[in-house]
Structure 1
Amino acid sequence: MKEVFFVTYGGGHVRSVIPVIKELKSRGHRVSVLGLTSSVKDLKKEEIEYKGIKDYLNLFRDEEVQLILKYGDMFIDEHFDAGSGLDKPEIKVYLGMNLWDLSVQFESFEKAVELFNESGKNCFLPVNSMERILSCEKPDVTVVTCGKRAEKAAAFSANKMGIKVVRIVDLLGENLEIPYKAKVCVLNSYAKANILSSNKNMDEQDVVVTGQPNIEPTYTKEQLRDFIKKYSLDRFNKVISFFSQPNIAYREDVLLEFIKLMEKRTNFMGIWKTHPNEQMDLYTKYLNTLPPNLLILKEEDTNLILSKSDLVITFYSTVGLQAIAADKPLITVNFSKNAHPVEYDKLGCATSCQKYRRIQEYYKSFT
């Protein structure tokens, strides 16, 4: 029997590990989960027991806790979305602990704040905090799903402590460098080749083709029926869905184009699905003026939306993989000069939209 510790963020990350957690538990392994930010929604929904960052405050000295809470208080109002459904005290401790950790690494709180103001949460790498958490959990294996922030720190700390690491790669591994020792699980042989190409220190046996749990539909016929009825989807000729992501500079411009399309095509239903980590501030000003055939949804199951979509649009979300697996037409939007982490169009699986004026043209070509 193994002790397995999962560290997971939300969205496709947590949905990738949930089936694995359930399977390991069914085989008698002891599983513990650190649910970060929006991952807790899916963990609660699936009735999976987890801990948050604030559950580990007892691992810190009193003076450290005071600093963590102080730093969290300084930034919580600016970085907490009241409509997110998340626990504000948990997010406060998450921010505070990361800033405390950063200030320890640079021996300066001022430097930590400077980095945070420049890069936002991307500068977080709480290796000191994760080392204490791992010392508390004492796992045989640590499982992570992305190369960012607390998950990345957990992998680094596990390496330092001699704990085995499993990394689940949710996309196709293009140009993905993994800067720690791990057994890597990938979707297919194409992703395996990408990982080996970008990580010369890895051997063939370090990368295992396991498939991607998040791609498999998990809804029942009854849930699909209720979903269709709830939004009267059968009344419309087609359903076009857009799966959004945070930190996309031109996101609002794309939303406005999507609204224009739905205003013209009243026989279509448009569904704009927000990402679990998106703050809703962007959308609030539009909610009362949306056409009746356009929904902005935050909580609905991604697979249910995909199942009824005639066309799927995203930036570079893992939902693109789900759309491809479901044989749905896919458009990816990229108005920046930089390539996305995964370019579905280069694989012949999607149409790429790279100019504002072409959005309507691409929509029409599919409708």
Structure 2
Amino acid sequence: MSPQPLPTWLFVCYGGGHVQALLPVAQQVRAQGIARPVCLALTTAAAPVRAAGLEALGFADLVQPGDEAALARGRELAAGLQVQAAALEESVAYLGLSYADLAARLGEAEAAAQYARFGRQAFLPLGPLGRAVDRARPSLVVATNSPRAEQAAIEVARSRGIPSACLVDLLGIFERERLARPDFADAILVLNEGVRASLVAAGRDPTQVRVTGNPAFDSVHAPEMREQGARLRHEAGWDGLHVLLYASSPEPAESPGMAGQGDPAFPRRLEAALVAAVQADPQLALWVRRHPSEGPADAIAALAHPRIRVAGRDMPLHACIHASDEVLVTVSTVGVEASLAGKPVTQLRGSILDALSPYLRLGIARREARLEDIPALYRPGAVRLRPAPDGLADPPAALPGPAASQDAAARVVAVLQSLAERSRP
């Protein structure tokens, strides 16, 4: 008798920290022969998924006859993108199919108003995700807590009777109402007991909330990351300097559910202030690491300054953290990873998304600062924040310890196996 084919598990993720959370899980699933992982890899997620040798789908693979008008609209919307984070064909399909879905659900006038106000954040592409499920025919769907396509994947899975799991990358503050719904995913996988308790208090069945940690943090304590970080620092000629890492995050003008007005230029203004501070103090050095969905830092590279460098896409994040003495973020999860690595974190406030990541209150950040504080904080002779010796500081209570942070992928896989077993006829 021929062996039974492996079941298909569909992983859905955007780029940045989302793909890094799910990629180690999909790799373990494949390596252990548990299932055939298929990844709907959105925006910048496609490159790391394909580099890992995993099967990747995009919205361009979901195009069908009759989508000509949607693709024409997608080309119009893609032409207005400030940053082309994905291949043009993929951007056209993502924008066109998602906008057509929005218009089908809300009507043309309301869809236009929502897109004008929120851009891509207005999308919940249930129709395209239905196509993805039809194509992959998965027995399990896995996504992180990101809105838009990842949320749609879980909602489509529920409507089709397919078990699903939602991996919460961090604190689940903004998404708490959705995560607490009894009809949203069959399992919620969270960072620690504190996040679990908050979801249970919000009404989620405690048996459906499992503490696994975030697999994106698994390698933060890996010896090879420490060694590569030390090597990067030495090769830059920065031994003996106070090395800053600025991990940028995109800033929306508006965000659904968030009060106030954001400034999309805010990350670049922070960047410029840090560059000026380093130029003024020969004891400072700076890595600039932009989010994958932001444009390349060509203007920073063009400075050709000996103490200012761009951390390229090919530089592992955890090596870059270990190459630094202090990490600066607005709301990026890089701040969490730096704290786990024993690096002091300065959180730069003033983002429309500030409320989502109260890092100082949670003990993740050592201090907060605003744009106008940067010249004084980093003036020549100012007191410097120092890393823990050898990066061995006890983690904040809000974060898991080193051992827990290294086993998250295996714990997630175990929960997924349990879900799959329970759903078999």
What TM-score does the superposition give when structure 1 sets the normalisation length?
A: 0.89
Aligned to 1:344: 359
Distance 1:128 1:351, change over 3 A: same
Q: How far apart are residue 167 of structure 1 and its match?
A: 0.5
Residue identity opposite 1:101 in structure 2: D
Equivalent position to 2:50, from 44, 58, 67 = 44
Q: Which residue of 1 aligns with 2:284?
A: 268
Give 1:357 deviation, angstroms: 2.9
SS state at 1:345 partner: coil
The amino acid of 1:117's aligned partner reads A
Q: For residues 251 and 13 of structure 1, do their structure 2 counterparts lie closer, same or farther at Cα, with a shift above 3 Å needed?
A: same
Q: Tell me by how many angstroms 1:325 deviates.
A: 1.0
- What is the alpha-carbon distance in structure 1 between the residues aligned to residue 215 and residue 237 of structure 2? 27
What's the offset of the Cα at 1:338?
Answer: 6.2
Calculate the aligned-residue CA RMSD, in Å. 2.4
How much does 1:171 deviate? 0.6
**CA shift digits 1:281-313 (9 cap, x unpaired):** xx4455434633112334122111011111011
The answer as to whether partners of 1:242 and 1:272 remain within 8 angstroms in 2 is yes
After superposition, give the CA deviation of every residue in 1:181-207 in whole Å (9 maximum; x if it has no partner).
330111111121122233x1x211111
DSSP-derived class of the 1:38 partner: helix
Instruction: Determine if contact 1:276/1:298 at 8 Å carries over to the other structure.
Output: no
Contact 1:334 1:352 in 2 (8 A): no
Mapped partners of 1:226, 1:354: distance in 2: 27
Question: How far 1:229 moved relative to its partner?
Answer: 6.9
* Structure 1 position 135, deviation (Å): 2.2
Q: How does 1:8-27 map to 2 (within 5 A)?
A: 8-27=13-32
Deviation per CA, 1:112-132: give whole Å up to 9, x if none: 233212101100111111112
Segments of structure 2 that go 5 or more residues without pairing to the other structure are 1-5, 253-262, 386-425
Change (3 A) 1:190 1:226: closer
Q: Hey, what's the Cα distance between the residues in 2 that align with 1:229 and 1:257?
A: 22
SS at match of 2:195: helix
Task: Tell me the CA shift for residue 225 of structure 1.
Answer: 6.8
Q: Aligned pair in 2 of structure 1 residues 233, 7: CA closer, same or farther (>3 Å)?
A: farther
Work out whether residues 172 and 194 of structure 1, in 8 Å CA contact, stay in contact via their aligned partners in 2.
Answer: no
Offset, 1:365: 3.5
Amino acid at match of 2:361: K
Whether 1:241 and 2:245 are equivalent positions in the alignment is yes
- Take 2:333 and 2:353, find their aligned partners in 1: how far apart are those partners? 18
Instruction: Report the 3-state secondary structure (helix = DSSP H, G, I; strand = E; otherwise coil) of the residue aligned with 1:91.
Output: helix
8 Å Cα contact 1:275-1:298 kept in structure 2: no
Counterpart position of 2:195 = 191
Equivalent positions of 1:56-205 (< 5 A) are 56-57=62-63, 60=64, 62-63=65-66, 65-79=67-81, 81=83, 84=85, 86-108=86-108, 110-174=109-173, 176-177=176-177, 178=179, 179=181, 180-198=184-202, 200=203, 202-205=204-207
The one-character-per-residue Cα deviations of 1:148-181 (angstroms, maximum 9, x if unpaired) are 1111111111111111110000112235222523
Per the alignment, residue 217 of structure 1 pairs with 219
State the one-letter code of the partner of 2:383: S
2:374 corresponds in structure 1 to 359
Contact 1:236 1:269 in 2 (8 A): no
In 2, Cα distance between equivalents of 1:45 and 1:3: 20
* Whole-angstrom distance in 2 between the partners of 1:334 and 1:229: 28
CA distance in 1, matches of 2:344, 2:230: 24
Whole-angstrom distance in 2 between the partners of 1:233 and 1:134:
51
How far 1:270 sits from its partner (Å)? 0.2
Matched, 1:327 2:342: yes
The corresponding residue for 1:32 is 38
Q: Quick check: 1:38–1:276 contact (8 Å CA) kept in 2? A: yes
2:311 pairs with 1:297? yes
Structure 2 contact 37–54 (Cα < 8 Å) conserved:
no
In structure 1, how many angstroms separate the alpha carbons of the residues matched to 2:217 and 2:310?
23
Q: Does the 8 Å CA contact 1:7/1:144 hold for their aligned counterparts?
A: yes
How far is 1:12 from its partner?
0.6
Secondary structure, in 3 states, of the residue corresponding to 1:344?
A: coil
Once the two structures are TM-superposed, the CA of residue 81 in structure 1 deviates from its matched residue by 3.2
Give percent identity, aligned residues only.
Answer: 24
Aligned residue for 1:79, secondary structure, equals: coil
Contact 2:287 2:308 in 1 (8 A): yes
How many residues align? The count is 356
Q: SS of the residue aligned with 1:317?
A: coil
Name the aligned partner's letter for residue 153 of structure 2.
A
Distance 1:169 1:4, change over 3 A: same
Among 239, 264, 267, the alignment partner of 1:251 is 267
Using CA pairs below 8 Å that are at least 6 residues apart, which structure has the higher relative contact order? 2
